[in-house]
Amino acid sequence: MATASSPSTPIITVPDADDESIAILERIEGKIDLSGLELRIHMGVPASDDEWIERTAGADGMLLGWHVPDAALASTDRLKVISYLGTGASDHVNLGLAADRGMEVLTVSGYGDDAVAEHAAALMMAAVRSVPQLDRAVRAGEWPSASSWQIRGRRLGVVGLGGIGRRMVEIGRGLGMDVVAWNRSAESGATEIDGIPLLPMSELFATSDAVSLHVPLNEHTRGLVGEQLLRSMKPDAVLVNTARGAVVDEEALLRVLDDGAIRAAALDVFGSEPLAGDSRLRDHERAIVTPHVAFNTTDASERLFIIALQNLVDFFSAKG
Q: Which of 273, 280, 282, 285 is catalytic?
A: 273
Q: What is the C-alpha to C-alpha distance for residues 232 and 230, in angstroms, rounded to an integer?
A: 5
Q: Do the Cβ atoms of 87 and 107 come closer than 8 Å?
A: yes
Q: Which of 55, 154, 244, 263 is catalytic?
A: 244
Q: What is the pTM of this model?
A: 0.87
pLDDT at 7: 58
184 carries an active-site annotation? no
pLDDT band at residue 66 using 50, 70 and 90 as cut-offs: confident
Three-state DSSP class for residue 213 = strand
Q: What is the C-alpha to C-alpha distance for residues 204 and 209, in angstroms, rounded to an integer?
A: 10
pLDDT at 320: 67
Q: What is the C-alpha to C-alpha distance for residues 27 and 307, in angstroms, rounded to an integer?
A: 14
Question: What's the Cα-to-Cα distance from 290 to each of 160, 206, 266, 282, rounded to whole Å?
Answer: 21, 26, 8, 10
Domains annotated for the chain, with CATH where assigned, are 11-111+298-319 (3.40.50.720), 113-289 (3.40.50.720)
- Residue 26 pLDDT > 70, yes or no? yes
Task: Write the DSSP string, 48-69.
Answer: SHHHHHHHHTT-SEEEESS---
- Residue 1 pLDDT > 80, yes or no? no
What is the mean pLDDT of the segment spanning 250-263? 98
pLDDT tens across 94-124, in order? 999 999 999 999 999 999 999 999 999 999 9
* 104-106 and 238-241 strand pairing: unpaired
244 carries an active-site annotation? yes
Amino acid at 24: I
The pLDDT mean for the chain works out to 94
pLDDT at 4: 44
What is the mean pLDDT of the segment spanning 281-288? 97
pLDDT tens across 125-182, in order? 999 999 999 999 999 999 999 899 999 999 999 999 999 999 999 999 999 999 999 9
Q: Which of 129, 231, 255, 292 is catalytic?
A: 292
Sheet holding 210-213, edge to edge: 178-182, 155-159, 210-213, 238-241, 264-267, 287-289
292 carries an active-site annotation? yes
Q: List CB contacts of 207: < 8 A, sequence separation 6 or more.
A: 155, 157, 180, 199, 234
What is the mean pLDDT of the segment spanning 287-311? 96
Amino acid at 244: R
Per cent of the chain over pLDDT 70 is 98
